[in-house]
Amino acid sequence: MKTLVIVTHPNIETSTWNKAWVEELKKHGDITVHELYKAYPDQNIDVAKEQQLVEAHDRIIFQFPLFWYNTPAFLKKWFDEVLQYGWAFGPEGTKTAGKQFGAAISTYGTAESYTAAGFNRFTLEEILRPIEASVKYISASYLPHFSVSDSSNASEDRVKQSAVDYVRHITTVKPVQA
Ligand SMILES: Cc1cc2nc3c(=O)[nH]c(=O)nc-3n(C[C@H](O)[C@H](O)[C@H](O)COP(=O)(O)O)c2cc1C
């Protein structure tokens, strides 16, 4: 199982969580870490290169900080440009079929706030539905997400533990049954 992690964080140098996760991922030689802002500082995506990267891996994880209940805009651009008709969907679009895709996110909101009765009213499963639906649309399997909530509560122990938990999650998680 070859795993690709696509990291989209506009300020990874000043990040706590996503930066720690990237550092942990890089200790694992069997995981490919692809940082979109580093690869494309001008946000000009090389679509053929991205498609080759996806084709070369079985499991693809989108790692990002939650921005306005969504992906950072650059990751949305990646979806819009890379997941093309004739490649990911449509009669000849079979390159993503059978692969596994998932998300790993950090949120400022607490776990309690991401419940029906909480401040944010919706669960993270619900907020991530556009990714889940897109993954199904490209004939791939959706993986349960990994998340850390309450990002301002960033003790060294909590950050370190989450990085270890994250790698364990993405190396052991099984697709959600349709
Ligand atoms: C533009 C912007 C929008 C944000 N929107 C949300 C949001 O909708 N929900 C939330 O819980 N946190 C939101 N946040 C907080 C970030 O998700 C949080 O700072 C980040 O996950 C922390 O991770 P890091 O240490 O890797 O930067 C937002 C932050 C920014 C800069």
140 CA to middle of ligand 1, Å?
28
64 CA to middle of ligand 1, Å?
9
109-167 pLDDT, tens digit per residue, is 999 999 999 999 999 999 999 999 999 999 999 999 999 999 999 999 999 999 999 99
131 CA to middle of ligand 1, Å?
18
Query: Mean pLDDT score of the chain, rounded to an integer?
Result: 97
64-114 pLDDT, tens digit per residue, is 999 999 999 999 999 999 999 999 999 999 999 999 999 999 999 999 999
pTM over 0.85: yes
Q: Give dist(CA 123, CA 104) in Å, integer.
A: 14
For position 177, what pLDDT does the model report? 74
What angle (nearest 5°) sits at the alpha carbon of residue 16, between those of residues 82 and 41? 35
CA proximity to 100, closest of 15, 25, 173, 20: 173
- Domains with residue ranges and CATH for the chain: 3-172 (3.40.50.360)
Q: Is the CB of 151 under 6 A from ligand 1?
A: yes
128-144 pLDDT, tens digit per residue, is 999 999 999 999 999 99
- Concatenated DSSP letters of 61-113: EEEEE-BTTB--HHHHHHHHHHS-BTTTBSTT--TTTT-EEEEEEE-SS-TTT
- Per residue in 77-94, is it b (16+ CB within 10 Å) or e — as a string? bbeeebbeeebbbeeebe
Neighbours of 52 (CB within 10 A): 11
Q: Is the CB of 87 under 6 A from ligand 1?
A: no
